[in-house]
Amino acid sequence: MRIFRRLATTLTAALALVCAAPLPAADARPAASYAALGDSFSSGLGAHDYDAASGACFRSPHAYGPRWAAAHHVADFCFPACAGATAHDLVTGQLPALGPETALVTLTLGGNDVDYARVMQACSIGLSASCAAEADRAERAMDRTLPARLDEAYAAIAHRAPRARVIVLGYPHLFGGAPCLIPAPPRAHRLDAAVDHLDAVIADRTRAAGFAYADPRGRFAGHGACAADPWINGAGLAVQESYHPNGEGYRGYESLLP
40 noted as active-site residue: yes
Distances (CA, A) of 51 to 56, 129, 166: 10, 39, 25
Distance CA 88, CA 83 (A): 13
Q: Shortest CA distance to 157 belongs to which of 203, 89, 91?
A: 91
CB neighbour burial string for 85-121, b if at least 16 within 10 angstroms, e if fewer: bbbebbbebbbebbbeebbbbbbbbbbbbbbbbbbbb
**From 40, 42, 124, 242, the catalytic residue:** 40
Is 2 within 8 Å of 112 (Cβ atoms)? Answer: yes
3-state secondary structure (DSSP) of residue 33: strand
Q: Shortest CA distance to 42 belongs to which of 8, 16, 99, 80?
A: 80
223 noted as active-site residue: no
What backbone phi and psi angles, to 5 degrees, belong to 30? -60, 140
Amino acid in position 95: L
**From 62, 197, 244, 255, the catalytic residue:** 244
Amino acid in position 31: A
The catalytic residues are 40, 244
